[in-house]
Amino acid sequence: AFLDLTGLSEVSGVWRATATVPCTYKHMEGFAQQTLLWTVVDNQISGTVFRRDSSGDHVFLAKYRDRVGVPSDAPGNVSLHILDLEFSDRGTYTCQVTWRASNSSLVVREIATKLEVVKVAATKPIIRAGELGLVVPAGASTSLTCVASGSPPISYRWFRSVPARKALLLSSQAELAWDHLQPSDSGKYYCEAENR
């Protein structure tokens, strides 16, 4: 198809997670993208969410500041990513792209997508167990990663078991890493995952 935008008529995103409102096109020789405009209409507001032009990327509505973006490294992919989705982000989002042809004429296309925000049933984190009895040579680098499914956001903590003492908290990240392992690093390590 000649410079057509592809997307979906409706998408749903999970509250507090990241949602993608898709909008893509096939790059064609002789046509350069001039502007990209993302607008939204809901029962409270209508306005420009995001604009990309020769001067860069601009976010217009304050409630979207630091929460929206469009890939810049994938030609033809102008999908809108919304972080930390709120119920107030529900609405109809329109992706409008303007191209300049080699003869300087302009071509404009747009598609609209309805975004629903759903609150998933809260689920406790379930940790996927790693292999037990990991053997790594001294001097090597390695890491342990805690992977859990459940309702976001999930926080992680890594501990080292110390016999007859309180476990040592080592990290509040999902990954526990060593650059240069020592024999003294041998021991039992475990991870905790927690959500609301």
**Contact predicate 155/161, CB 8 Å:** no
The CATH number assigned to the domain holding 178 equals: 2.60.40.10
Residues 163 and 109 in one domain: no
Residues 131 and 53 in one domain: no
The answer to whether the Cα torsion of 28, 9, 150, 168 is positive or negative is positive
**Cα distance between residue 21 and residue 57, in whole Å:** 17
Count: domains in the chain: 2
Residues 108 and 136 in one domain: no
- The mean pLDDT of 137-144, rounded to a whole number, is 91
Residues 110 and 28 in one domain: yes
Does pLDDT of 1 surpass 60?
A: no
Q: For 157-183, how does the pLDDT look when each residue is reduced to its tens digit (9 = 90+)? A: 999 998 888 899 999 999 999 999 999
Mark which of 95, 118, 141 sits at the end of a domain: 118
Does pLDDT of 6 surpass 90?
A: yes
Does pLDDT of 20 surpass 90?
A: yes
Residues 84 and 152 in one domain: no
Give the residue, 130 or 42, on which the prediction is more confident.
42
Mark which of 118, 141, 164 sits at the end of a domain: 118
Residues 59 and 149 in one domain: no
Residues 85 and 16 in one domain: yes
Residues 112 and 32 in one domain: yes
**Contact predicate 194/146, CB 8 Å:** no
pLDDT band at 193 (very low <50, low <70, confident <90, very high): very high
- The mean pLDDT of 86-105, rounded to a whole number, is 94
**Cα distance between residue 185 and residue 10, in whole Å:** 51
Least confident of 43-47, 48-52, 133-137: 43-47
The answer to whether the Cα torsion of 40, 46, 50, 51 is positive or negative is positive
Residues 13 and 105 in one domain: yes
- The mean pLDDT of 16-29, rounded to a whole number, is 92
Residues 28 and 90 in one domain: yes
**Cα distance between residue 7 and residue 24, in whole Å:** 7
Residue 160: give the domain boundaries.
126-195
Does pLDDT of 186 surpass 70?
A: yes
Residues 21 and 88 in one domain: yes
